[in-house]
Structure 1
Amino acid sequence: MQAIGINTSISLLAVLITCLFITPLLLSFGKDRKPTVNMSKSFEGYIGNRFEQFGSFVIRHHRGIVTLSVVLTIFCGIGLFFIEPAFDIEKTMGRKVPYVNKFLNLCETELGSMYAYDLMITLPHDNDAKKPENLQKLDQLSKIADGYKLTKRHNSITDIVKDMNCTLNGNKQQFYTIPDNADMVAQLLLLYENAGGTESEYWMDYNYKRLRLQIELKDYNSNEAEKEMNNLQAEASRLFPDAHVSVVGNLPQFTVMQQYVERGQMWSMMLSVLVIGIILVLIFGNWKVGLVGMIPNIAPAIIVGGMMGWLGYPLDIMTASLIPMVLGIAVDDT
C-alpha cells in the first residue's frame, strides 16, 4: 500500500510538472500563425458552427430530449439494483483473454481447482482431534461445504480415516465411515503413519488439538465466496461450540479486501453526491437551482452504473473506479 501511495503521488507530481512547464515549453517552439480573419472558414469556426447547430436542435426538440433522458435515467436507475459487488474473473475479463481462458480451462479439469481456503478448528485440549465424535462432526461439516455453489471438493483427515477403515474391511462401501470407537481411530492413524503415509500431518497437528478442512473451489465470485466462508464458519462454531474456528489462507484475505474496496467505493460515491449537492445549493443560494445543477452530475454515473447492472458486469476493484471517475468529470464541467 505504501508503494501504491508513493507511485500515485509521483504520477500526480509528473502531471503537474507537465502541465506547468513541459507543455508550455513545447508549445513555444515554432512560428506563430497569423490570426484567421474569417473564423467561419477555419477549423475552429467549423466546429463552433456545428456545436451551434446542435444547440439549436436541442432547443427546438427540448421536450422530446428531456422525456428521452428521463426514461433512460429511470431505466438505468433500475439497473443499479442489479449490480453485484463481486470479483468474477470470467465476467470481468472474459474468455477472450488468452490467460483467462487457459486458467479457466485448467480449473475445469478433474484435478484442477480455481482457489482454495482452509477452515482451522482449534479444540480445547490435546488429543481432542482424535476423538470419533469430533471427526464425525468434521465429516458432517465437509458434507455441508460440498453443498455450496462454489465448492469442487474438500480435503481433511476424515478422508484418510474413512479410506483406511474401508480398506481394512474388504473395501466394503458401508465401512467408508468414521469408526465410533476411539481406539479404532487411533489404530487407523497409527497404521497409516507406519505404512509411510505423510498427509495426516497436513490436517492435524502433532498434539492432536487442531483440525484443518480445506475447501477447493471450482469457480470464484467474491460475493458468493464471502457468504460461503461466513456460513461455513458459523456451522463449524455450531458443531464445535468450545473450539476456536477461523477461516485462513490468502483467499479469505483477498475476498475481504475485495468486498471492503467495492462497498467503500459505493459509500464514497453516495457521500460525494451528497457533498456536491450541498456545495451547489450553497453556491447558487437556492436549493431548487442546486438540485437542478445535480442532474448533469449524477445522470452520467446513474447511466454507467445502470448499464453495468443490466449487462451483468460485477462491481469489482477495477470497475468500481468507473462511476467515481465519471462523477469527477461531470463535476469539472459543471
Structure 2
Amino acid sequence: MSKIFTFGFWNSVARLILRNRIIIILLILATTAFFASQWKYMRFSFTEANLLPDDHEVNQEYNAFLDKFGEEGNLIVMGIKDSSLFTEKNYQAWKALNDSLQKFPEVDYAISIGNLNKLKKFEDPKRFEMVPFITEVNPDSLQLASYEDELFTKLPFYENLVYSAHSNTIQSALYLNKEIVNSKARKDFVIDNLDPMIKNFESQTGIDVRVSGMPYIRTLNSQNIIDEIGLFIGAALAVTSLIFFFFFRSIRATVISMVTVCIGVMWAFGTIGLMHYEITVLTALIPPLIIVIGIPNCIFLINKYQQEIQKHGNQAKSLQRVIAKVGNATLMTNITTASGFATFILTESKLLKEFGIVASINIVAIFILSLLIIPVIYSYMKIPKSKHLKHLNRQWIGSFVGWMEKMVRNHRIAVYFTAVGLLAVSIIGIYNIRISGSLLEDMPQQADFFKDVKFFEEEFDGIMPLEIVVDTKRPRGVLKSSTLKRLEQLEGLIAEEPELSQPLSITRLVKYSKQAYYNGNPKYYQLPSSQEQNFILPYTKNMEGNDDLVNTYVDSTGQFARITTFMKDIGTDKMEKIEDNLWPKIHKIFPEDRYEVSMTGKALVFQKGTTYLVHNLVLSLSLAIVLIALLMAWMFRSFRMILISLVPNLLPLLITAGMMGFLGVPIKPSTILVFSIAFGISVDDTIHFLAKYRQELKANDWKIKRSVYAALRETGVSMFYTSIVLFFGFSVFMISSFGGTVALGGLVSATLLFAMLSNLLLLPSLLLSLERSIANKETLKEPAMRIIATPEDEEEISKDDEEYKNQKNES
C-alpha cells in the first residue's frame, strides 16, 4: 500500500537521524551560526504599525497628505503647570533648556515662552514684523508677571499652542526634522539628549515637566518593546523549565529541552533579520511563542522515550521508536499550529502578514529541531534511571485520568448540559463585544509617558493629530475671503466636539494680522472683512518670520489648506460617531462641486486599520477552520469525524469571545490574534486523541466504548502535560506592560484550558453518544496516513533495532 506518510518512511527517517548524528550536530551548529549572523539586520520599528493594505483608500489619502505637507507626527511638547515658572531663576532655566534643544540638528524649530514672537505693525514702510515677546535678556519678577498676564489675556493666537485655555499651563513645542521622525536618530535624540536634559531641569528647579507628542510616545513605546523581549524570553524559559522539571523530575531532560528551544529562539531572530522585517509589538512575541510551543514537542518525545525505556530497557529500540512512532503525530500537530498562524499571511495587512510568515516558519523549524536534537543527544547518554521514570506512574495523574473516564462514562448528560450552558452564556457575552482602534490603549498605562498623555488631554484636549485637508480646486484659493470664512466655520464645529482640541490652521495667522493692525487689541482677533483686507494687505506684502507657519498649513500652490486638531485617546466607536456627525456639516460648508475635503492622520489610519482587521477576522478564522478541517479529512477520511472533531475546538473559541464581552476586553489588533492561534494549537489534542482512538478501534474489533476509554487513558496524561505547559507559557505574556499583550496571553491561556477539558470530556462523550453512526469501517476508512504505529509497523521497526545497535557500538 502506497501512502505519502507511512511508518516505513518514518522508520527510514529514524535510521537517517541516528546513523548521521555527527553530521546533524554540525548542520545544526552551522545553521544556528548562519541565523546568528543575520541578527545584525534586525531593526526595531520606529513608527506605528500600518494595519491597512498599501493600496487602501485611507492609506492613499494619508500618503497624499504627506506628499503635500510632510510628516505630521513631528511635534514633541513639554508642559509645565506651575506658576513658579515665571520667577527669574526658573524662567532662565526654562529658556536655557529650550535654547539648548533648538540647537540640536534633529530640531527644526521650537516655540517656547523664551523665544516667543508677537506680530507688530510698523508704518514706515507699512509692514508687519515678528518681534520678540520678551525683550529683556534678564527680566525681573515684576516684568515676568506682566508678560504672563499679557500672554494669557492678549495673545489668543498662542492659545493651545503655548498655553492652555483651561489653566495656566505653559508648553513648549519642538518641531523635529521630518527626515528623522521615523528613524533611529529620533530615538537617540529622545533617549540620550531630551530626557536627560529635562531631568536636569527638574532637579535644578523642582518643577515637574510633562512630555508628550507622537514622536516621544513612539520612542518610549518602542523602547518598552525592546525591554520586554528579553523579559518575555527569560520568563518563558523560567516558567516552562520549572513546569517541565516538575513533571519529569530530571535536570537532564529539562536542560536538553531548554537547549532545543533556545536554538529555536536564535533561529526565530535570525529569520526576522534574514527577511529584514521590523520588530514590532507582534513580532516581538514570536521568540517566547517558540519556547511555549516548542516545549510540548519535547514533552511528547521525551515522554515516549522514557515510556519505551520503562517497557523494555533497550535504548536503541527506544530512540528508533521515538522518531518512528511520535514523529508523524508531532509533525501533524505542529502543522495545524503553524496553519493557525499562517492564515495571517492571507490578510492584506503587512504587520499581520510578517507575523504569520515568521511564526509559521519557525513553528515548523522548532519541530525539526526537537526531532533531531532530542534523539541525538539521548543517544550519547546513559539510559535514564528508575527515579527519572517515576513520573510515569504518579497517582495524582492517574486520579485525574480516572476522573475524566468517570465523567465520560457516567455523566455525559452533565457534560452536554454544561457545554450548552456555557455556549448560551457566551453568545450573550459576544453581543457585548466592542471594537477598539485606540492608538494608545495597548500602551503601558503605568508608564510616566502614558500619564503625561492624560495630562495633555486634560490641559490641551488631546495629543494625537487628526488632519483635515481642504482642496479649493484652484491655485491660491485658500486665501480667498470666502474660503477663510468656511475654514473658520469648520473649526468652530470641530471645537464643539469634546474629544477634539481647538484646531490650528492658516486662519489663526489671518486673524492675528487683523489684531496686529489694530495695535494688538485682542478683541480684533478675528477674520477681517473685505474692506479691512484692503487696509491690511499692504502690511502683509513684506511680512517676514511666518514662513514656517504658512507652509505648515497651506501648500506651496495655495490650493490646499490643512486644519490640524488633536484627539483624545478615543476608540473606533467614538471616532465613527464624530465622523458621522461632522461629515454632513462639512459637506454643507464646503459644497462637493466646489471643494474636496478629506480627513486623515496617523491615529485615524490606525482606527480604520482596526476596523479593517476586524472585518478580516472572520475570513482569517474561517480559513484556519477550513484548512484544518481539510487536514483532518485527509487524515481520517470521514466527514462525520470532521464535524465531531470541530465541535470541541470551536466551543472554547466561543467561550473566550463571550468572556471578552463580559470582561470588557475589546476586539483590537492584539486580541484578534487569539482565535486563530488558539484554534491552531487546541486542535492538536484532537488529532492525538482521534489518532489513538482509531488505532484502538482496530485493535478492539470496532468496540466503541473500550476504544474511547483506552484512548482517553493513553492520551490524557500527555494532553494534560502539554496543556498545562501551554497555559502557563502563554500566561507569561500577562506580565507585559502592554494591555494588548496581557489580553492576548490571558485569553489564549483560558482558551487552551477550555480546549483541553473540551477534548478530554466533550469529544469522547460525543464519540460514545454517536457510536452507532460512526462505529463502522465505512465511516472510519483507512486513513491517508498512519499517525500512530500499528503492530505491523512495530515489526518493521524491530527489524532495524539490532542493526542500529550494532552501528552505534561501532561508532
TM-score normalised by the shorter chain: which range applies? 0.7 to 0.9
Equivalent residue in structure 2 for 1:65, among 402, 415, 438: 415
Match status 1:284 vs 2:638: yes
> Secondary structure of 2:546's partner?
coil
Deviation at 1:283, TM superposition (A): 4.1
Task: Report the counterpart of residue 136 of structure 1 in structure 2.
Answer: 485
Contact 2:485-2:527 at 8 Å conserved across structures: yes
Task: Report the counterpart of residue 255 of structure 1 in structure 2.
Answer: 607
Task: Report the counterpart of residue 562 of structure 2 in structure 1.
Answer: 212
Deviation at 1:255, TM superposition (A): 3.3
One-letter amino acid of the structure 1 residue matched with residue 677 of structure 2: M
Q: Distance in 2 between matches of 1:315 and 1:247?
A: 24
> Secondary structure of 1:247's partner?
strand
Q: Distance in 1 between matches of 2:603 and 2:535?
A: 33
Task: Report the counterpart of residue 25 of structure 1 in structure 2.
Answer: 376
Greater alpha carbon shift after TM alignment, 291-300 vs 235-244? 235-244
> Secondary structure of 2:475's partner?
coil
Deviation at 1:306, TM superposition (A): 1.4
Contact 2:461-2:500 at 8 Å conserved across structures: no
One-letter amino acid of the structure 2 residue matched with residue 200 of structure 1: V
> Secondary structure of 2:597's partner?
strand
Task: Kindly report which structure 2 residues correspond to 1:1-334, keeping only aligned pairs within 5 A, or say none.
Answer: 3-4=276-277, 5=354, 7-8=358-359, 11-12=362-363, 14-33=365-384, 42-46=390-394, 47-88=397-438, 91-93=441-443, 95-96=445-446, 98=447, 101-108=450-457, 110-111=459-460, 113-148=462-497, 150-166=499-515, 168=517, 171=521, 173=523, 175-181=524-530, 184=533, 187=536, 191=540, 194=543, 196-198=545-547, 199-225=549-575, 228=578, 232=582, 235-238=585-588, 239-241=590-592, 242-273=594-625, 283-286=637-640, 290-334=642-686
> Secondary structure of 1:128's partner?
coil
> Secondary structure of 2:503's partner?
strand
Contact 1:164-1:188 at 8 Å conserved across structures: no
Q: Distance in 2 between matches of 1:193 and 1:219?
A: 42
Greater alpha carbon shift after TM alignment, 61-70 vs 129-138? 61-70
Deviation at 1:142, TM superposition (A): 1.7
> Secondary structure of 2:470's partner?
strand
> Secondary structure of 1:153's partner?
coil
> Secondary structure of 2:564's partner?
strand
Greater alpha carbon shift after TM alignment, 256-265 vs 123-132? 256-265
> Secondary structure of 2:545's partner?
coil
Deviation at 1:16, TM superposition (A): 3.8
Which structure 1 segments of 5+ residues have no match? none
Contact 1:162-1:178 at 8 Å conserved across structures: yes
Across the aligned residues of Structure 1 and Structure 2, the Cα RMSD in angstroms comes to 3.7
Q: Distance in 2 between matches of 1:160 and 1:94?
A: 38
One-letter amino acid of the structure 2 residue matched with residue 219 of structure 1: D
Deviation at 1:156, TM superposition (A): 0.9
Deviation at 1:214, TM superposition (A): 0.6
Q: Distance in 1 between matches of 2:424 and 2:630?
A: 23
Q: Distance in 1 between matches of 2:391 and 2:364?
A: 34
Deviation at 1:302, TM superposition (A): 0.8
Over residues 104-130 of structure 1, what are the superposed CA-to-partner deviations in whole Å (9 max), with x where a residue is unaligned?
345335258431032221212222212
Q: Distance in 1 between matches of 2:651 and 2:542?
A: 66
Deviation at 1:8, TM superposition (A): 4.4
Task: Report the counterpart of residue 182 of structure 2 in structure 1.
Answer: none
Q: Distance in 2 between matches of 1:17 and 1:273?
A: 25
Contact 1:179-1:185 at 8 Å conserved across structures: no
Q: Distance in 1 between matches of 2:542 and 2:666?
A: 47
- CA distance 1:10–1:300, change in 2 (3 Å): closer
- CA distance 1:100–1:127, change in 2 (3 Å): closer
- CA distance 1:326–1:188, change in 2 (3 Å): farther
Report sequence identity in percent.
23
Deviation at 1:307, TM superposition (A): 0.9
Q: Distance in 1 between matches of 2:439 and 2:663?
A: 16
- CA distance 1:62–1:102, change in 2 (3 Å): same
Deviation at 1:155, TM superposition (A): 0.8
Q: Distance in 1 between matches of 2:368 and 2:577?
A: 47
Over residues 96-154 of structure 1, what are the superposed CA-to-partner deviations in whole Å (9 max), with x where a residue is unaligned?
3x256345345335258431032221212222212222112112222222334531331
Which structure 2 segments of 5+ residues have no match? 1-49, 51-274, 278-353, 687-811
Q: Which has the higher contact order (CA 8 A, sep 6+)?
A: 1
- CA distance 1:107–1:324, change in 2 (3 Å): farther
- TM-score normalised by length of structure 1: 0.79
Q: Distance in 2 between matches of 1:185 and 1:320?
A: 59
